Amino acid sequence: MMKKSFCRKFRKYSIENILSKQGIISVISRLFFSSVFLWFFLHFFVFSCASRGVSSLSNPNIKIKEMIFDDRGNLILKLVNVKYVSLCAPGSKDCSDLPVNSLFLDVEFKISKPSKHTELDIIIFGFGGEKKSFRVNFQESKIYPLE
């Protein structure tokens, strides 16, 4: 008795039923609807959303979390999303670059007082070409934005 009920369950999936007219129609309709769904998914989600996503991607902005002087007169910088920092003497084109590459990471710098100069130009470069410039006067412990 168990064998008969077990065989009855699988009788509708036999070769004869699949090759019959209704079986072929059901197989073709399933393939058609699955291919239509796949076409819709590829067209709408992949092509349109990906093209909008690539054009709307923007580089992260430079974030200056903290820019203060400590009790010894050293400058403390806490930065996020910075590619590199350039340190220059005012009016000089000879700068020293510090590669940072802190995408989504916090970085802390401690810049001590220069021995030869009282001022220092700091240029902070981001990943999208964004830059922020500052002139730091260590004698007066002041920071001036440069534009």
Asked if residue 52 has pLDDT above 60, the reply is no
Note the helical H segments in 42-104: 50-56
User: What's the chain's Rg over C-alpha atoms?
Assistant: 33
The 10s digit of each residue's pLDDT in 12-35 is 555 555 556 566 666 666 766 666
> HSE of 87 in the Cβ direction (CA atoms, 13 Å)?
16
Q: What residue type is 106 in one-letter code?
A: D
Q: Residue 114: pLDDT above 80? A: yes
DSSP-based three-state secondary structure for 84: strand
Segments of the chain assigned to CATH 2.60.40: 63-146
CATH fold for the domain made of 63-146: Immunoglobulin-like (2.60.40)
Share of the chain above pLDDT 90, in %: 26
Cα 27 to the center of its chain, rounded Å: 44
- Report how far residue 81's alpha carbon sits from residue 114's, in angstroms, rounded to the nearest whole number: 26
Residues in the chain: 147
**Banded model confidence at residue 94, pLDDT cuts 50, 70, 90:** confident
List, in order, residues 6 or more apart from 73 with CB less than 8 Å away.
113, 138, 141
Highest mean pLDDT among 19-23, 87-91, 121-125: 121-125
